[in-house]
Amino acid sequence: MGFAKSKFWIFLSLCILGFILCFNPLQAIIASVPTVTFELTNSSISENTLTTSLVVNLSASSSQEITVDYLVTGGTANNTNWGSGQDYTLTQGTLTFAPGIVTQNISLSIIDDSIQEADETIKIKLLHPQNVSIGENSLHTMRLIDNDRGAIFDVVKDFGAAGDGITDDTKAIQTAVDSVYEQGGGVIVFPPRVYIVTSVNLKENITYQGYKATIKRPDNQDKWTRTFIANYAGEANSQPLIIKGFTFDGNSKNQGDYQKYELEQAHLIFLVGDPKLPGKLQAFIEDCNFIDGVADGISVYTNVSVKVFNCEAVNVFRGGFVLTGGNSEAEVYSLTTRGETDDTGIDIEVDGEGYGGSLKVDVKLENLNLINGNFDIAVSDSSTVTGNDIISDAPFYIFSRNSTMKFTNSQFKVGATDGYMNRIVFPYNITFENCDFYVTRKETKRPYSFFSVADVWWQHPSYERQSNQLLVFRNCSFKVDSNIKKTDKTYAIYLRRDAELANNRLVLDTVDISQNFNVGIFRQK
């Protein structure tokens, strides 16, 4: 036995006897990096719990500082006040483990609202580890148990709806609504199925929850068949009516002609309060999709207070969100509209008198992506409209008689000027701030002569003389879209003829007008 072999056998013997610690250096390196995980992957708490914590553990201590990010990645609960109410306060953050520390907590506050709703969930994920690896338990699902609701009812199990996409479930769903309402309200859950519905009259103090459920309009319905209708009459405002999680399918391919407004009243959701009484219908619509509609996706008429959150409308003929009645309030957050067969946008065109003969509305728009379809807002009677973070394709139309509007941090495309669409009429008090405007080659069905970002009508022959109006562009840019042809006539701002001594004012405060316009500012004499 050689000297080298002798040393090997002596070394091996000592290892076996425990005199020398033997290890694989690669294994030692791997073992020195701990893992980070949630202590539990699921938990449940009552909505009236003010604060709670999620425990996050390291598998072993470390001599280095360790960080890991956490992020809310899903669930049905809401961390903003944009929908039916805020449920908790937490979005994202970073946990830091000092050397030797193996446990940290993620704290969040729970908001106890008074709304009847089904239990909701929050999904929180660990990600972006530093000096640590993420273990298997990296996702925690927290269930918020509602403490306000009445009973929860299943529209299939409790009321016999088929949800097979063939059977007309109108009667079963109407029975569910009437029964739950008579019992004092509650939650009606629609399991993930397809429900054929002609027209159902909804009641307040009920949450209608249908995540992954579809409400589909039957073939060949008439102009006045509205899918979900809520009609309220009262001296005081109603209890909340909440619609969550549905897909509403208007089945436009099987409805006959509609693109000349043959079916213009066949809305997917129609909300109205009796204008003879002061009370308003209070409604919340969130996490809903509207597809292939022959009229409005969400149609709001008189005496309504509505919040719309996180909805999408695709190929809905008259618009994803439409407001036409006075004495109403609307807040629309995170709405996307787009269309291939039918352009889909928003239309606020108030011509129905609410309580006291009022045409006044108060509207707030936030985080809208109107990929195509109208951005059409026409209000009067001291109404207010505010908008922020809006991206809108043409056409673009604003009418603001004796009303106030302000739009910030937005982008608008404005199409062909045809004397009807793509213009600003009666800018009584309108401000655009930090906005980008583009003239784009999108034509209407009417003859046109030029393109202009702002075709401003101080006066109109159909109305009395207007005076002391104010239109402000602050920190705005005016640009020419790449699809405009060299033969197109373009103006950044086109001011229509004004009355003498009307004191109507245009204010340009730090604006950038592209040299690609034929004319920057033109004033008609």
Residue 121 pLDDT > 90: no
Burial of 143 (0-12, 13-18, 19+ CB in 10 A): middle
pLDDT of residue 17: 42
Q: Which of 241, 267, 242, 402 is nearest to 323 (CA)?
A: 267
Give 224: exposed, middle or buried? Use CB within 10 Å, 0-12, 13-18, 19+. Answer: exposed
* Strand ranges (E), 204-268: 206-209, 214-216, 228-232, 241-244, 247-249
User: pLDDT per residue over 225-283, tens digit each?
Assistant: 999 999 999 999 999 999 999 999 999 999 999 999 999 999 999 999 999 999 999 99
Give the rounded percent of residues in the chain with a pLDDT score beyond 70: 88
Say what the pLDDT of residue 117 is: 65
Q: How far apart are CA 357 and CA 406, in angstroms?
A: 25
What are the start-end ranges of the E strands in 146-196? 152-154, 164-168, 186-189, 194-196
Within 10 angstroms of residue 204's Cβ, the number of other Cβ atoms is 18
The CA distances from residue 221 to 224, 253, 329, in Å, are: 8, 12, 30
DSSP state of 11: H
Q: H or E element: which one contains 15?
A: helix 3-17
Q: How far is CA 18 from the centre of its chain?
A: 66
pLDDT for res 16 = 41
Read off the amino acid at residue 234: G
- DSSP class of residue 328 equals E
Give start and end residues of each alpha helix (H) in 233-313.
none
- pLDDT score of 51: 78
Q: In this structure, what is the dihedral angle of CA atoms 430, 435, 440, 445, given to the nearest 10 degrees?
A: -30
CB 422 within 8 A of CB 396: yes
pLDDT category of residue 10 using cuts at 50, 70 and 90: very low
State the average pLDDT over residues 131-139: 91
Residue 13 has pLDDT above 80, yes or no: no
- CATH level 3 topology of 152-523: Pectate Lyase C-like (2.160.20)
* pLDDT (tens digit per residue) in 449-499: 999 999 999 999 999 999 999 999 999 999 999 999 999 999 999 999 999
Q: Which amino acid is at 457?
A: W
Checking if the pLDDT of 40 tops 90, the result is no
Cβ–Cβ < 8 Å for 330, 352: no
- The HSE-up count of residue 356 (CA atoms within 13 Å, CB side) is 10
- Residue 74, pLDDT > 90, answer no
CA 410 to the chain's CA centroid: 16
- Residue 437 has a CB neighbour count (10 Å cut-off) of 25
Task: Kindly report, residue by residue over 337-390, the tens digit of the pLDDT.
Answer: 999 888 899 999 999 999 999 999 999 999 999 998 889 999 999 999 999 999
User: Which is nearest to 334 in space by CA: 291, 366, 302?
Assistant: 366
In terms of Cα–Cα distance, which of 182, 226, 189, 175 is closest to 204?
Answer: 182
The model's pTM: 0.78
User: Alpha-carbon distance 22 to 134, whole Å?
Assistant: 28
Q: Which is it for strands 289-293 and 247-249: parallel, antiparallel or unpaired?
A: parallel
Q: Residue 238 CB: number of other CB atoms within 10 A?
A: 21
Question: What are the sequence ranges of the domains in the chain?
Answer: 33-145, 152-523
**What are the structure tokens assigned to 188, written together?**
């009606």
β-strand partners of 207: 187, 242
Pairing of strands 51-58, 103-110: antiparallel
Rounded CA-CA distance 163/173 in Å is 10
Domain 33-145, CATH 3.40.50.300 — does that match? Answer: no
Which residue is it, tokens 């809310």?
A: 72
Torsion angles phi and psi, residue 381, rounded to 5: 60, 45
H or E element in which residue 178 lies: helix 170-182
pLDDT at 79: 57
CB 297 within 8 A of CB 248: yes
Q: What is the pLDDT of residue 507?
A: 98
Which has more pLDDT, 24 or 502? 502
Q: For residue range 465-476, list pLDDT tens digits in order.
A: 999 999 999 999
Separation of alpha carbons 362 and 328, rounded Å: 7
Burial (0-12, 13-18, 19+ Cβ within 10 Å), 233: middle
Query: What pLDDT band is residue 439 in, cutting at 50, 70 and 90?
Result: very high
